[in-house]
């Protein structure tokens, strides 16, 4: 006849479950608009993936929202070009 196992403590039970938890999703930044997106997916904000426009996001918006979105995208692109590299900073000094 089989012998019943002895009781495991809560501590021992929980040590076995240490690796079972929800991990944070890996997030990358869209090179076009600068918003956070999941890797290997089309950006929901601008519709670009790997430098190509896959979805025309502006087409679905009404006129007021389209102007607002275009303005945001243009401002982010301008900010990227204005950022200086370390070499440029050392030249300016």
> Is 14 a member of any domain?
no
pTM, rounded to two decimals: 0.51
Strands 28-29 and 48-49: unpaired
> Is 37 a member of any domain?
yes
Return per-residue pLDDT of the chain as tens, 93 residues.
Answer: 778 788 889 999 899 898 888 888 899 988 888 889 999 999 888 888 988 888 888 787 888 888 888 888 788 777 766 666 677 667 665
Q: Whose structure tokens read 């993936």?
A: 49
Question: Cα–chain-centroid distance for residue 55?
Answer: 18
> Is 20 a member of any domain?
no
> Is 17 a member of any domain?
no
- Structural domains of the chain, count: 1
> Is 7 a member of any domain?
no
What is the structure's pLDDT at 85?
A: 67
Please measure the distance between the N-terminal and C-terminal CA atoms of the chain and give it in whole angstroms: 85
Range of the domain at 75: 25-92
Contact 85, 93 (CB under 8 A): no
């Amino acid at each position: 006849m089989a012998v019943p196992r002895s009781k495991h403590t809560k501590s021992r039970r929980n040590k076995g479950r240490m690796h079972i938890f929800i991990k944070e999703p890996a997030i990358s930044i869209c090179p076009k608009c600068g918003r956070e997106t999941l890797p290997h997916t089309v950006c929901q904000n601008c519709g670009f993936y790997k430098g190509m426009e896959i979805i025309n996001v502006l087409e679905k918006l009404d006129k007021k929202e389209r102007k607002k979105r275009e303005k945001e995208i243009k401002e982010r692109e301008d900010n990227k070009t204005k950022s200086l590299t370390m070499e440029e900073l050392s030249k300016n000094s």
